[in-house]
Chain A
Amino acid sequence: MITQALFRALDKKAIWVVAILLVIALAVPAANLLIPPGSPGHVPNYLVTLFGKYLTYAMLALALDLVWGYCGILSLGHGAFFALGGYAMGMYLMRQIGDRGVYGDPVLPDFMVFLNYSELPWFWQGMDQFWFAMLMVVLVPGLLAFVFGWFAFRSRVTGVYLSIITQAMTYALLLAFFRNDMGFGGNNGLTDFKDILGQPITATTTRASLFAATAIALALSVFICSMIVNSKLGKVMIAVRDAESRARFLGYRVEYVKLFAFVVSAVIAGIAGALYVPQVGIINPGEFAPANSIEVVIWTAVGGRGTIIGPIIGAIIVNMGKSYFTGALPELWLFALGGLFVFVTLFLPKGIVGLIGQWRGYSEWRNRPAPPSDGAPSGEAHASDLAERGENTKTVTRAPQPKPAE
């Protein structure tokens, strides 16, 4: 059965995505380390780090896509899982500084010395062990998602209400991590990292390895997501997305399906955060800001939700745009981002990937020998949109109507 799942996961386009990511994981570090600077084909250091960051964002977007695109849960708090994973990694990196900090305390990180801590808080114990920190990277976001999802899905909090309380969750964490007495460095966060696994964190080889690790982690995430959505469970997830009540009445435990997707997604987001921190060199409470989480949603939407490749493309394109705009035209970035939100929701409900599919469908339709009477591709896309919201497909022919809050 497992082999069957493996084969199912790797068929279709997912195998290409995984393969390309693995090639990137090897090729980019090789091009950075082996080809001397100045020669054609050399990838400069800053680009390695920059693209490493994009890949962690892509992982985060993929995690969101798993719950939003496939399970219909619009989480506006995925940044929280990302940041929690990042904080776990940051705590490990802080402990690795040892006595090289400004105050030279062998155990306590600088900010704790500054805030007059006499000993390590209990939740910092064990974080100097890499395996333990990595366990926390997975466990903490997973556990939070489990507890949160357990309560939310069991009491059938859905739709906009769920979105808003996920936003409240990340906002509460934002406020909490800003507090100095939380023991996470307050609004300065954790920074000034020196080593990771005994290697200096700024070294080119470390950077290249981190890039490779990120690309491999992304490939693994793609593989896992593909495995999930192509399994029977994945079919149930899509059923929950499209018609939750119907799935429930058919006998599926909708809340468990959602909970599973939510927890897996949170874990992937946490790992993405853990890979993000050593590459950018800082983690602070700003990562919890609700605005960040909403931005993740737009990456996913731009690329195309409900597809595996879409969120990856979306995250990379939007962030490249952001890097360009904030450097060249900082005034315009918010206009561009805001416009993107409006444009994508109005005109690209299925994102870039959906656009390609539509375009292909359109050309196929044009090449058909006999034009069908009702087969307009836009109408088809429209129908599936409505179906996603769980509306009765009989209503498809009518113009969209507002639906009062339940």
Chain B
Amino acid sequence: MIDSLLFIALPYLAIFVGVFGSIYRMRTAPMTYSSLSSQFLESKGLMWGSLPWHIGITVILLAHVIAFLAPGFWQSLVSHQTVLAAVESIGLGLSILCLLGLIILGLRRLTSAKLQAVTSVMDLVVILLLLLQVGLGMAIAVHCKWGSAWCSGTTTPYLWSLVTFQPDVTHISDLPLLVKAHIVGAWLFIFVIPFSRLVHMFAVPVEYLFRPPQNVVWTNPRKFNADNQHFVKEEARRHFLRAFAGIAFGGFLLSVGTFRNVFSFFFGPRLGRKEETELMELRLSRLESTVGQRKLELERQASNYILVGKLAELSPENGKYFIDFKMQPAIAFKGKDELPLLISAKCTHLGCTVGNKVDQQGRILCPCHVSYFDIVSGEPNAEAPAKAPLPHLGWVIMDERGKVLARRDASGKTSGDVQPELRVTARVYISKDQEGKA
């Protein structure tokens, strides 16, 4: 309960508030979007605090994002021991930078009177939250070592489950408390973004790389007359570049995983001779079975009767599988009246093959989702996911010479009987006309 609250409700709330809150604030009060730099009032502490903090957190966040967006790529990267150790060391180093930077930034806010004039409560909340988050991250790096490796099997699927709207807490519910606290901290962080100076991370001026140095703004329609075309072209080009860059980057991130597969197809480890033989054999046997199945099907369609087995072979507990005219599995039992009891083995829930062993209550089990079917009535048990009963099949009993001794149609109407002396040799069939009637 607390897990779903913290790891399903909170993230969705946080992302909703974080994204839409920031957009709303951008729309209604763009003036309040600022880095709110305090370098003007105090610069030395800022240098020693802000630089390490921002350098550290930028790279660390980037690594988190890559591990989340391209788990395959990331996993293959850190599966190498040296790389893993390097990633972990650099990560720890960066988190040390972050921590020291934050401490310096916090201290400078607390000690300088000038800075206190521009410090809001939210600033302190943000610093505390970040301190906590960085501290937890470092504790994880030490106590739950090599998170860069285990994240791709735990937190990454969790995050993806959130993204795909199929939240699955089980990925992380067993992780140590430290990790869970770190995750909760991250959601809180996202939550407070629109209420704090943290919005400045959305203001990273990437477009500066692409824009021309001078920026001239016209309020009269001159540009629409004289330079219209040039202007439009320039704008379009810039938009195209920006869109292209965005799409390319997104595509790059998304395709890294795919590319790895392509790469390993051509350059990855080759199958051994033995493995290859196995693979070919497997394929061959599959083909054979397909051919056999088809043949069988045709054969069946042609013949009027299909042998189920000798009447004597059937047992009341241990059913015998066979395939009916529709190429579907069915089971043959011996009923209480010493006559065959034929029941479909295709579960009415999702079509798995039902087991052939009868338990004490006279039921057979579909193992896929645990439905018990009574073999006499065909009805599933009350809790079972299957709701419809398994249908019974009709049968024909013939002696060795092909003389019909008894028959039962699908509705259960029996005619004829089998003399005890004939029971040893009598064979059970299903017949086409019965099938048709059923």
Partners in one complex: no
